[in-house]
Amino acid sequence: MDQQTRLKPSHGLHITAGQMNPMELFRFAFGAIGAHPMRSALTSLGVVIGVAAVIMMTSVGLGAQKQVEEALSGLGTNMLVVRPGAPRGGGGGFVRGAGGSGASLETADAEAMRTLDGVRAVSPAINGGAQLVYEGANWSSRIEGVTPEYLIARDLEIASGQMFDQAAADSGRKVAVLGQTVVDELFGPGVDPVGQRMRIGPIPFTVVGVLAPKGQSGFQDQDDIVVIPLDAARSRVIGRGPGARGNSVNQVYVKAIDEDALYPLEQDLAELLRQRHRIQPGEDDDFNIQNLTSIQEAAASSSQTFTLLLAAVAGVSLVVGGVGIMNIMLVSVTERTREIGLRMAIGARRSDVLTQFALESVVLSLLGGLLGLIVGVGGALLMARFGDWPTAIPAWAAPLAIGFSTFVGVVFGAYPAWRAAQLDPIEALRRE
């Protein structure tokens, strides 16, 4: 029989004797897959689900990480927040002084902090809540009494008007800078709040500026705020609280000149306050310093772990899909035993048979991976759109889908292909 004679087996695939070139091998592989479209589709389904699950779950994890980073960066960069009360062991919180007051932290402490190296801005603050009134509108908001350096310390900008100056702060003038949420809720559209008079509780204040929007930080709307001079807040709005001294503050915002100066400044602040508060060695601090950069790094690390966990769980689907491919390929070897024997009998090499079955496995898996990529990206975009979630499709989604699905096809198709190549031609031809 001539080496290029073509025989036609029962399932409809042509068999070519002799050595087959790569194009023929690919043609045979696609032909075998096309001969059973439903079975091929179901075989690839496991890989489709696996790749789509990995991409979608990773997107969820990266979206959570992105949301946390945006929330923390909105609080300010290179900033330390000093609060009264001893740090709480293990939880990262703190225990306030007697009566929950700010008695252990004073304005004089904030002034002393300005002398430290690496300090760009220091703003002591007291905070509370009050009812706001403008004409017939009412709105309850967060009130923060600060110094003019508050804008620098918190990375805030003025959208319209201006920030009150040091002279206004020292004299305790009744002026206010509003967040955008307060403007929207209290004044409504079409009204410029700058220059308008409103009441904070029973006290009239003049609006001198509006803060640029900062958005949501966790569960707190950073734009729902009214900023007023520290002395005015103490004497007219918030008060000092039970047990607090006249110059006590709730917190001090300290802005470092850059990230490199942040950690040395944190140590210097702790040493300064221990000296000023006469805290002896071995005694607990009566203050707590929060490093927002450290919190952001810890949150990012937790989110990365969460992302890897989700990806690992979803990756189990890929293994299941690979097992499905191996099972179907073993069935295919059994069904096509006579075809394999006939091909080898007329001159096909074992390597040709091995390559053909391996290609079938890889093609099945690769098609599933490409379809899974489409489903995964589409699912991630839908979750971001309808779940109010940041879109965070990983850059490696396409390489992962192609690379890992090919890997699955090679690994789980290796044994069926080897088994097909090891068949004895005589025994294969006798098989019914």
State mean pLDDT over 286-314: 72
Contact 101, 248 (CB under 8 A): yes
Number of independent structural domains in the chain: 2
311 and 275 both lie in a single domain: no
Question: pLDDT per residue over 243-290, tens digit each?
Answer: 445 688 899 999 988 878 888 898 999 999 999 988 888 888 888 888
Question: pLDDT per residue over 120-167, tens digit each?
Answer: 999 999 988 899 999 889 999 999 999 999 998 888 899 999 999 988
Q: Cα(361)–Cα(315) distance, rounded to whole angstroms? A: 19
State mean pLDDT over 298-318: 70
Q: What is the pTM of this model?
A: 0.57
Question: pLDDT per residue over 221-233, tens digit each?
Answer: 888 999 999 988 8
259 and 314 both lie in a single domain: no
CA torsion, points 97, 200, 193, 221, in degrees to nearest 10?
Answer: 40
Q: Cα(338)–Cα(432) distance, rounded to whole angstroms? A: 8
231 and 119 both lie in a single domain: yes
How high is the pLDDT of residue 228?
Answer: 94
Q: Among 243, 260, 285, identify where a domain stops.
A: 285
Q: Which one has a higher pLDDT value, 372 or 218?
A: 372
Q: What DSSP character marks residue 6?
A: E
> What is the extent of the structural domain holding 218?
98-285
144 and 280 both lie in a single domain: yes
280 and 326 both lie in a single domain: no
Residues facing 288 on adjacent strands: 83
Confidence of residue 2 (pLDDT cuts 50, 70, 90): very low
Interstrand relation of 216-217 and 6-7 (parallel, antiparallel or unpaired): unpaired
Q: How many CB atoms lie within 10 A of CB 6?
A: 9
